Structure 1
Amino acid sequence: MELQDKYKKLQDYLRDLGSVAVAFSSGVDSTFLLAAAIDTLGKENVMAVTTSSCSFPERELKEAQAFCKERGIRHVITASEELDIDGFRHNPKNRCYLCKHELFEKILAIAGENHLAAVVEGSNMDDNGDYRPGLLAVAELGIKSPLRAAELDKEDIRALSKQMGLPTWDKQSFACLSSRFVYGETISEERLGMVDKAEQLLLDMGFHQVRVRIHGEGQETMARIEVLPQEIALLVEDAKREKIYSYFKEIGFAYVTLDLGGYHMGSMNVGITEKEKQI
């Protein structure tokens, strides 16, 4: 299917909904979905809803606020502290399901209060290939996934975003900070803060796509850095390597390592079995 045909299919889908609340994180996918909804339905029929929590970096929240303010888009920010969800801190394999269920229940309530017909979220066709328990919550709650319905993948979304002049067309992919933790290891405000600070340093140093995975606890806490394969040589240059190592130690990591495989989506899901993916 041609790119413009996919966009038309997306618009037809949104038009059938009539009015929407967009789960808006300021990422590549949700920014494109929000812009497409405005383009199709008009500002009066669209609201952006952003949930803030300790697993959502401040920089992403500020970008969401700035995007909506610059374009005059209705924007609601609601607190959604997943660490208060029963069992979440223990990081079970269905962690994303627990979080998304609580998050989308809040967005559904906001949509209802504002007389909006549907809640939409930004998962795309590429998300079908990885372990995504959050999509079960999406299905259970009747949340709509227009990008998947239009058969759009990440490459399509970036290309269309560039055509539309969206600043996120080449933005790095992002997932909530809780996804940096090994299943079964404790998620806490302090450890989320360590990951956030570590990744922010790498972004500030100019690395384009980063993950800092956290392994172990207490005096055994290790950072596993993922950057794009073509940027590994830059990271291990003496001055950069020493700066990263020193800062990571300062914020609480006992060990600092580099993943020689480079950045790869869902690297914490390697141990998930095919049977578990179906649950």
Structure 2
Amino acid sequence: MPNTIANINTLNTWFKKHPRVLVALSGGVDSCLMAYMARRELGKQNAVAVISNSASLKNKDLSDARQFADRYDIELIEIDANEINDKNYRANPVNRCYFCKTNLYQTMQELAQNAYPDYVIINGNNHDDLGDYRPGMQAADEFKVYSPLLECKINKDSIRHMSKHFNLSVWDKPASPCLSSRFPYGEAISAAKLLMVEKAEDYLNTNGFDEVRVRYINGMASLEVPKNEINTLQSMFTAEFKKQITDMGFTDAGIDEEGLVSGKLNRNIQTK
């Protein structure tokens, strides 16, 4: 069991050394915890959450972020990092996340320079992220974005324990990476394709599957749910169910029998 109180104290000490912050909010548990703790430790005026309402963010995550900010009295600013207009991002290379985060942090940096000159930018990267391929971290380094959870060596399990300790509404929210992560590297990304994926995942959600991924594979929808829910999805996967998904623009739809694996499309990346 993580030492929740010790982790909270460690983070509070970190915030005391950084008394004004802009929090890059995604609607997920990591960044929500950062926004909550910053607001709690520094006060509302000194802890401002910023979310990019762009094509790669699910509407559900935007709604979750708005509700979270309202519930915990956190100032929330909505921007549009407009990464979809970056040809490097749209080309979807293996370091796509670098270009996405570059657009985000550049837009946040401009906001800081214009309205919050004494504030530092922070994100929700945690210690577990060091074990995955995360090119967005390079962009964070280049824009001098801080990662308190990572710096304090706090992992995902500890984050959930702290969030539950504070009774945060998102403490058990499933991970929800940006929509562009559903595309194999090299498959061009467009706003229309992102919307197709979002609609398909929403359809699975409305049918009782909370944690899902819909991968866009050569125009086909590859449906992922947790391994223990595959049989349920198979029993529901009628011709009409499939048609609901293909009518969204996919050429075909099928179930990935391996089940949901976060970061599955990173498997073939060779890193040093």
Tell me what 1:230 maps to: 228
Tell me what 2:241 maps to: 244
Q: CA deviation at 1:212?
A: 0.5
Tell me what 1:199 maps to: 201
Q: Distance in 1 between matches of 2:157 and 2:259?
A: 20
Q: CA deviation at 1:243?
A: 4.7
Tell me what 1:162 maps to: 164
User: 1:87 aligns to what SS in structure 2?
Assistant: helix
Q: CA deviation at 1:3?
A: 2.5
- Residues 6 and 151, structure 1, Cα contact 8 Å, conserved in 2: no
- Residues 35 and 74, structure 2, Cα contact 8 Å, conserved in 1: no
- Residues 45 and 116, structure 1, Cα contact 8 Å, conserved in 2: no
Q: Distance in 2 between matches of 1:25 and 1:244?
A: 30
Structure 2 residues not aligned, in runs of 5+: none
1:48-197 matches, within 5 Å, as: 48-112=49-113, 113-197=115-199
2:12 paired with 1:11: yes
Q: Which runs of 4+ in 1 moved over 4 A?
A: 240-243
Q: Distance in 1 between matches of 2:202 and 2:183?
A: 17
Q: Deviations for 1:120-143, whole angstroms, at most 9, x for unmatched residues?
A: 000111211111000110111110
Q: Distance in 2 between matches of 1:274 and 1:186?
A: 22
Which moves more between the two structures, 65-74 or 186-195? 65-74
User: 1:212 aligns to what SS in structure 2?
Assistant: strand
Q: Distance in 1 between matches of 2:49 and 2:11?
A: 18
Question: What fraction of aligned residue pairs are identical, expressed as a percent?
Answer: 36
- Residues 97 and 136, structure 1, Cα contact 8 Å, conserved in 2: yes
Tell me what 2:31 maps to: 30
Q: CA deviation at 1:86?
A: 2.8
Q: Deviations for 1:191-238, whole angstroms, at most 9, x for unmatched residues?
A: 11110000011111121211111111xxxx11111111111111111x
- Residues 234 and 255, structure 2, Cα contact 8 Å, conserved in 1: no
The root-mean-square deviation of aligned C-alpha atoms, in Å, is 1.4
Structure 1 residues not aligned, in runs of 5+: none
Q: Distance in 1 between matches of 2:208 and 2:248?
A: 20
Cα 1:111–1:243, aligned 2, differ >3 Å: closer, same or farther?
A: farther
Q: Distance in 2 between matches of 1:190 and 1:260?
A: 27
User: 2:87 aligns to what SS in structure 1?
Assistant: coil
Which moves more between the two structures, 242-251 or 41-50? 242-251
Q: Distance in 1 between matches of 2:206 and 2:131?
A: 31
The number of residues matched between the two structures is 270
